[in-house]
Amino acid sequence: MRRAAVLGTGQTEHRTRRTDVSMAGLCREAIDRALADSGTDWSQIDAVVLGKAPDLFEGVMMPELFLADAIGAAGKPLLRVHTAGSVGGATAIVATTLIRSGVHRRVLAVAFEKQSESNAMWALSIQPPFSAPITAGAGGYFAPHIRSYIRRFDAPRHIGALVAVKDRRNGALNPYAHLRQPDITLESVQASPMLWDPIRYDETCPSSDGACAVVIGDQQAAEASERQVAWIRATAMRTEPTFYSGKDHVDPRAGAEAAAALWAAAGVKDPLEEIDVAELYVPFSWFEPMWLENVGFVGQGQGWKLVESGETALGGALPVNPSGGVLCSNPIGASGLLRFAEAAMQVMGRAGEHQVAGASTALGHAYGGGSQFFSMWVVGRNP
């Protein structure tokens, strides 16, 4: 299989409402930054892959139709990807596959969300025919899974607050982050209103307008780059039904199988020792210990202990979400691609104030739906 690498990344300033730009303008803001970061111009892009979460999030059906010109796809192949919240990660993997297969030399991957133009809570609460109602949005759906994790492993109730404090302080180091709270404390998180037991207000992600773009190139393009690239060592995607008899919502089979396939393809034997930084998709703070276990960094029931030890903070053995993660910026369609891009930025040494010193290998992770879709990649400084 041919080698592929991230040549450059770009993202927008993430805010509650980006009324200064249209959807097209939001995408172009990220794209222009990615092209500049990669030293690439429009003429060198062979194809565009667009990622977008459910169209009801803005109420614009098939936005790729009117966005084609603005995102540089006129006269070029354009693919639309949709795998719920994991779509950003899936978008990067589709773009990578186009490079590795030898179809194209440089592919632009872009994903976005402009939640301010609709109501994601409403979009997640409707009841399509022949499906179970969510009623209370994503938080209402996932809170029982978190309670199950707490009961199963006797996890202390302050673990979620520890994650929230860490990520929000990390976000204060990220100039693009939506929420930047350097003075947040454990006490202030624990005093914030309870939304869906045990999820408190400060333990949940915001609703953000934002976009992310990544330029991925083949080996020749990567070797011609004047800047450090992030070599894509491995990718993996897995899927399972939202509901089926025996489904484990605490430790989804698809996530575990995707991670196992990823580590095998990347030649990683001990993820906790060999991965320098991880960008995990954590929309509610309790998902950090759950995903640490699901992807295999630690064993079952050990995720909350790793969090409590402080080893997932900047300066720890495994910094998790040094960018602030989804808890600080959540343009849903782009959130997965942001995790992949931030992982690449770490190994390229371009993460600014939230750079993990000496990071050479990083994990990007995304999930979506009812813990149904999982996308992951491992990137490194060296091929």
Average pLDDT (43-63) is: 92
Cβ-count burial of 151 within 10 angstroms (0-12 exposed, 13-18 middle, 19+ buried)?
A: exposed
295-304 as b/e, with b when 16 or more CB fall inside 10 Å?
A: bbbbeeeebb
Residue 4: CA atoms inside 13 Å, Cβ hemisphere, count? 29
Q: Is the pLDDT of residue 6 over 80?
A: yes
Residue 241: phi and psi, rounded to 5, are -65, 155
What angle (nearest 5°) sits at the alpha carbon of residue 351, between those of residues 228 and 30? 85
Q: How many residues does the chain have?
A: 383
CATH number assigned to the domain comprising residue 334: 3.40.47.10
The predicted-structure confidence for 323-376, as pLDDT tens digits, reads as follows 999 999 999 999 999 999 999 999 999 999 999 999 999 999 999 988 999 999
The predicted-structure confidence for 263-278, as pLDDT tens digits, reads as follows 999 999 999 999 999 9
Residue 237: phi and psi, rounded to 5, are -135, 140
Distance CA 110, CA 79 (A): 11
Q: Is the pLDDT of residue 230 over 80?
A: yes
Threshold 0.95, pTM exceeds: yes
pLDDT of residue 352: 98
Res. 122 pLDDT band, cuts 50 70 90: confident
Q: Is the pLDDT of residue 171 over 90?
A: yes
DSSP 209-250: EEEEEEEEEEHHHHHH-SS--EEEEEEEEEE--SS-TT--SS
Cα 249 from chain centroid?
A: 19
Tokens of 21: 């730009």
Average pLDDT (199-215) is: 97
Average of per-residue pLDDT values in the chain? 95
Is position 125 within any domain? Answer: no
Give the residue among 13, 6, 21 at the shortest CA–CA distance from 108. Answer: 6
Average pLDDT (8-13) is: 98
| Range in 53-62, 81-90, 219-228, 283-292 with the lowest mean pLDDT | 53-62
Res. 59 pLDDT band, cuts 50 70 90: confident
Residue 373: phi and psi, rounded to 5, are -110, 135
Residue 115, classed as helix, strand or coil, is: helix
Judge whether 281 and 337 are in contact, CB under 8 Å: no
Tokens of 349: 């040494």
Is position 177 within any domain? Answer: no
Distance CA 8, CA 213 (A): 9
Judge whether 362 and 379 are in contact, CB under 8 Å: yes
Is position 150 within any domain? Answer: no
Average pLDDT (283-309) is: 98
Is position 230 within any domain? Answer: yes
Res. 54 pLDDT band, cuts 50 70 90: confident
Task: Give the pairing of strands 199-200 and 209-218.
Answer: unpaired
pLDDT of residue 175: 98
Is position 259 within any domain? Answer: yes
Query: With pLDDT > 90 as the criterion, what percentage of the chain qualifies?
Result: 89
Q: Is the pLDDT of residue 220 over 70?
A: yes
Query: With pLDDT > 70 as the criterion, what percentage of the chain qualifies?
Result: 97
Judge whether 129 and 62 are in contact, CB under 8 Å: no
pLDDT of residue 216: 98
The predicted-structure confidence for 299-330, as pLDDT tens digits, reads as follows 999 999 999 999 999 999 999 999 999 999 99
Is position 145 within any domain? Answer: no
Is position 128 within any domain? Answer: no
Average pLDDT (67-95) is: 96
Is position 233 within any domain? Answer: yes
pLDDT of residue 134: 63
Q: Is the pLDDT of residue 121 over 80?
A: no
Q: Is the pLDDT of residue 132 over 70?
A: no
Residue 293: CA atoms inside 13 Å, Cβ hemisphere, count? 20
Select the more confidently predicted residue: 182 or 1. Answer: 182
In the chain, how many domains are there? Answer: 1
Average pLDDT (111-130) is: 79
pLDDT of residue 131: 67
Strand order across the beta sheet in which 78-81 lies: 78-81, 47-52, 106-114, 209-218, 4-11, 230-239, 373-380, 361-368, 277-279
Tokens of 150: 């707490």
Adjacent-strand bridge partners of 365: 376
Average pLDDT (211-226) is: 98
Helix, strand, coil shares, percent, the chain, to 5:
40, 20, 40
Look up the domain containing 47 and give its range. 4-119+206-380
Distance CA 363, CA 357 (A): 15
Q: Is the pLDDT of residue 34 over 80?
A: yes
pLDDT of residue 135: 64
Q: Is the pLDDT of residue 133 over 70?
A: no
